[in-house]
């Protein structure tokens, strides 16, 4: 009998190797290569046998669109684009204990009032799921529970019961009995997800899949898993904060980079209607090294506090520590401050933090970061009623950013009176009462913000 062929597959990136190695050459991870048996493949080429002819349809035809299924959790519906589309597959990833299972149990409990829902867990028993539902006050919801890991059994149940919404928690625990690989391997994750998604689209079922993440924050398993689903959501948050950010990084049926903000409490995840007020609730007045940034997360304006600390370094190589922002972008801002503005920061340690646990990715935060750094170095605080935003170029110029009017309206609504924005933005705030109108300071070059930290701005 012929010996079955084997390959060594990285469980982090899915790349194949002919022999085992301690380090994967594809992604650089250590101890992630596992031996897997390769299934027998059909012979190469189709031969003379012909397949059936596929029926084609014109693009101009009409389609019967089903209404989206809304959970009633506004922040969750916002991230998914207004609700779940029939036959869609949504993948939710996040760190252990961040709240993935909690938000999905809350969502299907809301769904169960009008639709037929099932929660299938491969990690917990039925009694454990019931205990969590009781703690969240959801014990009376009409949700069907199951503890199963065999994909064949799950698909048979979906065909018989005809569920509208199904939760799979998690895809790394599912397995196909016709594959010899262990659950959680690349082959099992890819094949199990493919079968579940195919069944969901055939039956018009909304499929919600929980995915584990690696230590780098990426969803474990093959990268193709994110391409197979319609929507990819990431749960972000810091264990030291109660805030949780649900961020859409892929959505075939709605906008990407949309966020939903939640607060973890005794009764699970609670919606945050106005995240700007929450992120600025503990901000102290007249403290150097602090600046308020008016950012955009998808279609929502969010005001957050950026904190910077510049201190003399006792080490030969100064430290650069960043939380909530891109470290390489901080290095660029520091270089521009030194080369274009003559500010010496090199021998000092630099610490940068985005308060509240939010992660900022847009370059519009450059100017607020530079203002916080200059404020910490000089000891002169940024005015407490000022918001700042703008992108910085390598020559020191301050460039325009998108959706300026939306940012300024959010700042005005929260009581801010002064805004530092890029020059030639064309923004003219409209207000019926001059007392409520934002006073604008337009800056063309990064050097234009330095007088703010060398003169008394209170007069």
Shared-domain flag, residues 268 and 282: no
- Residue 435 has what pLDDT? 43
> How far does the chain reach from its first CA to its final CA, in angstroms?
91
- Distance separating alpha carbons of residues 171 and 122, to the nearest angstrom: 8
Domain end residue (candidates: 235, 256, 273): 273
Helix, strand and coil content of the chain, in percent to the nearest 5, comes to 25, 25, 45
- 3-class DSSP state of 247: strand
pLDDT at position 156, please? 95
Instruction: For 131-151, write each residue's pLDDT tens digit.
Output: 999 999 999 999 999 999 999
Q: Do 175 and 264 lie in a common domain?
A: yes
Q: Do 308 and 183 fall into the same domain?
A: no
Tell me, yes or no, whether 195 and 263 share the same domain: yes
Same domain? For 206 and 282 the reply is no
Report yes or no on 291 lying in a domain: yes
* 183/207 same-domain check: yes
The mean pLDDT value for 91-108 works out to: 91
Show the domain range for 340: 277-453
279 pLDDT band (50/70/90 cuts)? Answer: confident
pLDDT number for residue 257:
78
Do 361 and 216 reside in the same domain of the chain? no
pLDDT at residue 38, rounded to an integer: 64
The pLDDT, as a whole number, for residue 457 is 46
Which parts of 271-391 fold into alpha helices (H)?
A: 275-279, 327-341, 366-378
Domains in the chain, number: 3
What is the C-alpha to C-alpha distance for residues 410 and 293, in angstroms, rounded to an integer?
11
Task: Indicate if 209 and 289 belong to the same structural domain.
Answer: no
Residue 67 lies in a domain: no
The verdict on residue 47 lying in a domain is: no
CB count in 10 Å sphere of residue 174: 25
Single out the residue in 233, 250, 273 at which a domain terminates: 273
Question: What contacts 23, CB < 8 A, 6 or more positions away?
Answer: 29, 30
Q: Looking at the structure, tell me whether residues 232 and 111 fall in a common domain.
A: yes
Do 94 and 227 sit in the same domain of this protein? yes
Assign residue 340 the CATH number of its domain.
3.30.230.10
Inside any domain, residue 48 = no
Q: Do 360 and 338 reside in the same domain of the chain? A: yes
**326 falls within a domain:** yes
Give the pLDDT score at 425: 60
Q: Which of 248, 273, 298 is the last residue of a domain?
A: 273
| 63-74 per-position pLDDT tens digit | 667 788 888 899
DSSP assignment letter at 253: T
Structure confidence by residue, pLDDT tens digits, 155-199: 999 999 999 999 999 899 999 998 888 888 888 998 999 999 999
45: in domain? no
Mean pLDDT (whole number) for 99-119: 93
pLDDT score, position 77: 92
The answer to the question of residue 52 being in a domain is no
Looking at residue 91, which CATH number applies to its domain? Answer: 3.40.50.300
Same-domain status, 247 and 354? no
More confident residue, 455 or 371: 371
* Inside any domain, residue 372: yes
pLDDT band with cut points at 50, 70 and 90 for residue 237:
confident
- Residue 436 pLDDT class (50, 70, 90 cuts): low
Check whether the bond before 355 is cis (ω within 30° of 0).
no
């Amino acid at each position: 009998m012929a010996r079955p062929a084997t390959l060594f597959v990285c469980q982090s990136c899915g790349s194949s190797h002919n022999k085992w190695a301690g380090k994967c050459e594809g992604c650089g991870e250590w101890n992630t290569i596992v031996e897997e048996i390769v299934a027998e493949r059909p012979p190469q080429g189709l031969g003379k046998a012909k397949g059936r002819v596929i029926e084609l349809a014109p693009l101009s035809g009409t389609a019967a669109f089903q209404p989206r299924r809304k959970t009633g959790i506004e922040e969750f519906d916002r991230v998914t684009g207004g609700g779940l589309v029939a036959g869609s597959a949504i993948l939710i990833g996040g760190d252990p204990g961040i709240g993935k299972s909690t938000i999905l149990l809350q969502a299907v409990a809301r769904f169960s009032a009008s639709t037929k829902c099932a929660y299938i867990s491969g990690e917990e028993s039925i009694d454990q799921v019931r205990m969590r539902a009781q703690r969240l006050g959801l014990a009376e919801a009409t949700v069907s529970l199951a503890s199963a890991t065999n994909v064949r059994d799950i698909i048979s149940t979906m065909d018989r019961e005809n569920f509208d919404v199904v939760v799979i928690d998690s895809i790394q625990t599912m397995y196909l009995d016709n594959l010899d690989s262990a659950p959680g391997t690349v082959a099992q994750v890819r094949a199990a997800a493919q079968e579940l998604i195919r069944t969901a689209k055939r039956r018009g079922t909304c499929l919600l899949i929980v995915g584990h993440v690696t230590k780098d924050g990426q969803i474990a398993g093959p990268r193709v898993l994110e391409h197979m689903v319609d929507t990819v959501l990431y749960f972000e948050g810091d264990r030291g904060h109660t805030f949780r950010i649900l961020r859409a990084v892929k959505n075939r049926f709605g906008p990407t980079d949309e966020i939903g903000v939640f607060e973890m409490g005794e009764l699970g995840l609670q919606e945050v209607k106005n995240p700007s007020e929450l992120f600025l609730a503990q901000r102290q007045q007249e403290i150097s090294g602090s600046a308020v940034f008016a950012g955009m997360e998808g279609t929502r304006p969010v005001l957050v506090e950026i904190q910077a600390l510049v201190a003399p370094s006792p080490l030969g190589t100064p430290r650069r520590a960043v939380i909530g922002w891109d470290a390489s972008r901080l290095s660029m801002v520091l270089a521009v401050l030194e080369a274009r503005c003559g500010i010496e920061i090199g021998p000092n340690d630099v610490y940068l933090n985005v308060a509240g646990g939010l992660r900022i990715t847009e370059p519009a935060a450059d100017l607020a970061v530079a203002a916080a750094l200059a404020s910490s170095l000089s000891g002169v605080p940024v005015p407490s009623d000022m918001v700042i935003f703008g992108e910085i170029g390598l020559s020191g110029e301050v460039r325009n950013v998108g959706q300026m009017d939306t940012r300024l309206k959010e700042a005005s609504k929260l009581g801010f009176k002064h805004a530092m924005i890029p020059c030639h933005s064309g923004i003219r705030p409209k207000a019926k009462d001059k007392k409520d109108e934002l006073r604008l300071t337009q800056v063309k070059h990064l050097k234009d913000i330095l007088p703010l930290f060398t003169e008394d701005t209170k007069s």
